[in-house]
């Protein structure tokens, strides 16, 4: 930010108030100026003397009151420009002062011009100027106050939204500041109605009343009235067009920002933020949109993170509520894989290298399982537990499990090629596959849950995996799984065996 920009932000409200008062004085001057004023010369001289004293004094009082009121605001800006840390209390005080400043300045302006409405008639009364001069002095000051405060209302808002609020509220949140007055959209529209209708109407009434008191030929009065109405119409059309620009800009600019952000959200972009520069309904809506995009961004992050634990297809089904997670009995195929002789490698290899090796193995195995729509439930040391057919059911889950086991065997060879190239020993693993019923549910404490399978099917699959050591095989499937794959794979029958903790014998098969 350049030095001029800093100066403009720091003095925006003071300069805006001065401009609004200057506009009010100029407009009323053109509305009331008449080269053929019936006012006596000595009374006109008194009025000009009052103007030369009161008008500079009014501007000095206005600037002085603004400067005193803005002290917390100016201290905040000085610290910000010097890049010094600003504590919470001074920041909040400056923000409250800034949000309330339009109301304070409007009250100051009204006070100044209502004072004029009392001072001018009083002075004219002292000098015995007559009721007509006193009445005219009162209404001129009153009229100036109305026009000044109306113009100031919209100028303040325009300057705050365009110049000042982005510095004080870079992240929005104006609506959350307590202890302030709020300018609602309804208040803006009422002020607009007042500016574009009532003030011109009052001006015309005052003009008509003024001319009606003059003792002149009716044709001359009608000509003066026509000329005055033309002048007033041009002035109020120009001022009305300017105020319409300010109001429309203050209302449509935040709406354009909101629609732009919402279009981005519709396309999946959550980085854009609404620049909030008001504490009305539009500002509140902008803050809500920003909170919504932040929530959607967080949800998208969680969704992507969740996708690292399950396949994207399963993730989307769960997030869409299509998969019940409170417990259901399902027929699934469970796969266990366990590395062989990995403990001895851990003893001989630095820990960081062990982590690198096992992560490369898990990466390939996980991709093989996901390739065939399986879900890795957990890693237990160097063991993998995976399920096919849950939480998203697939009719051919036994076939998918066997295909995944074959792919795991292929990918293990790829891992071993890389390990041998790096000078590490080869890895070997055993895989056990069994099909049967399980209870699938979110299981755990209220603070920490995991999707898990409970049932005898899980235990059998784990026992089958362990039998690979006994039979010197790599992949063993149960008879239940073999029956479901319908001879689609080359298998070799192994001797019937007993499983630890199970009664009876089991028919098992080695996958060729």
Three-class SS of 340-400? CCHHHHHHHCCHHHHHHHHHHHHHHHHHHHHHCCCEEEEEECCEEEEEECCCCCCCCHHHH
* CB 442 within 8 Å of CB 354: no
Domain boundaries, the chain: 3-266, 324-511
pLDDT, residue 468, reads 94
3-state secondary structure of 333: strand
Q: Say which residues have a Cβ less than 8 Å from residue 12's Cβ, sequence separation at least 6.
A: 159, 160, 163, 164
Write down the pLDDT at residue 227.
Answer: 75
User: 116 and 138 in contact (C-beta within 8 Å)?
Assistant: no
What per-residue confidence (pLDDT) applies to 347?
83
pLDDT by residue for the chain (512 residues), tens only, comes to 677 788 888 888 888 888 888 888 887 777 665 555 555 677 778 888 888 898 899 889 989 999 999 999 988 888 888 887 777 777 888 888 888 998 999 999 999 989 998 998 898 888 887 777 787 788 888 878 888 888 888 888 888 888 888 888 888 888 888 888 887 888 777 877 777 777 777 777 776 766 666 666 777 767 767 777 777 778 778 877 887 887 788 788 888 889 998 998 888 888 888 888 888 888 888 889 988 988 888 877 776 766 665 566 666 766 676 666 677 899 999 999 999 888 778 888 888 999 999 999 999 999 999 999 998 989 988 999 999 998 888 999 999 999 999 999 999 999 999 999 988 889 999 999 999 999 988 777 777 777 789 999 999 999 999 999 999 999 999 999 999 997 889 999 999 999 988 888 999 999 98
Whether pTM exceeds 0.85? no
At the top level of CATH, the class of 324-511 is alpha beta
| pLDDT value for 508 | 96
* Exposure letters 55-71 (e unless 16+ CB within 10 A, then b): beebbeebbebbeebbe
pLDDT at residue number 361:
95
Q: 163 in helix, strand or coil?
A: helix
């Amino acid at each position: 930010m350049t030095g001029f920009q800093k100066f403009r932000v720091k003095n925006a409200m003071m300069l805006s108030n001065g401009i609004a008062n200057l506009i009010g004085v100029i407009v009323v001057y053109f509305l009331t100026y008449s080269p053929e004023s019936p006012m006596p010369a000595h009374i006109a001289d008194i009025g000009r003397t009052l103007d030369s004293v009161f008008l500079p004094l009014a501007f000095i009082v206005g600037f002085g009151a603004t400067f005193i009121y803005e002290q917390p605001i100016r201290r905040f800006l000085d610290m910000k420009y010097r890049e010094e840390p600003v504590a919470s209390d001074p920041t909040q005080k400056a923000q409250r002062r800034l949000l309330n400043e339009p109301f304070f300045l409007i009250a100051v302006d009204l006070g100044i011009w209502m004072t004029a409405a009392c001072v001018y008639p009083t002075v004219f009364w002292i000098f015995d100027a007559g009721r007509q001069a006193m009445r005219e002095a009162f209404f001129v000051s009153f009229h100036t106050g109305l026009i000044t405060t109306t113009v100031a209302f919209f100028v303040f808002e325009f300057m705050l939204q365009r110049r000042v609020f982005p510095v004080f509220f870079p992240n929005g949140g104006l609506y959350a500041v307590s202890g302030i007055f709020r300018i609602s959209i309804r208040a803006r529209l009422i002020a607009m109605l007042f500016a574009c209708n009532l003030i011109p109407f009052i001006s015309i009434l005052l003009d008509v009343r003024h001319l009606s008191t003059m003792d002149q030929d009716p044709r001359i009065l009608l000509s003066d009235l026509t000329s005055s109405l033309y002048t007033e119409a041009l002035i109020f059309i120009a001022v009305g067009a300017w105020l319409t620009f300010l109001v429309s800009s203050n209302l449509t600019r935040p709406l354009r920002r909101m629609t732009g952000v919402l279009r981005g959200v519709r396309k999946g972009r959550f980085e854009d933020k609404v620049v909030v520069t008001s504490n009305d309904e539009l500002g509140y809506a902008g803050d809500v949109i920003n909170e919504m995009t932040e929530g959607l961004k967080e949800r998208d992050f969680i969704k992507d993170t969740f996708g690292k634990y399950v396949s994207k297809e399963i993730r989307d089904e769960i997030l869409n509520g299509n998969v019940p997670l409170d417990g259901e009995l399902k027929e699934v195929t469970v796969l266990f894989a366990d590395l062989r002789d990995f403990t001895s490698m851990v003893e001989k290899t630095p820990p960081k290298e062990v982590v690198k090796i096992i992560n490369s193995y898990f990466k390939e195995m996980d991709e093989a399982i996901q390739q065939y729509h399986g879900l890795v439930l957990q890693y237990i040391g160097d063991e993998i537990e995976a399920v096919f057919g849950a939480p998203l059911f697939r009719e051919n889950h036994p076939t998918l499990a066997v295909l995944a086991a074959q792919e795991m065997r292929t990918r293990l060879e790829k891992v071993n090629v890389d390990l041998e190239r790096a000078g590490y020993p080869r890895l070997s693993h055993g895989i056990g596959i069994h099909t049967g019923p399980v209870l699938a549910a979110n299981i755990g404490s209220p603070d920490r849950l995991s999707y898990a399978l409970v049932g005898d099917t899980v235990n059998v699959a784990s026992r089958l995996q362990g039998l690979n050591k006994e039979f010197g095989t790599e992949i063993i499937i149960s008879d239940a799984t073999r029956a479901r794959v319908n001879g689609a794979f080359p298998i070799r029958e192994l001797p019937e065996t007993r499983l630890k903790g199970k009664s009876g014998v089991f028919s098992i098969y080695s996958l060729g």
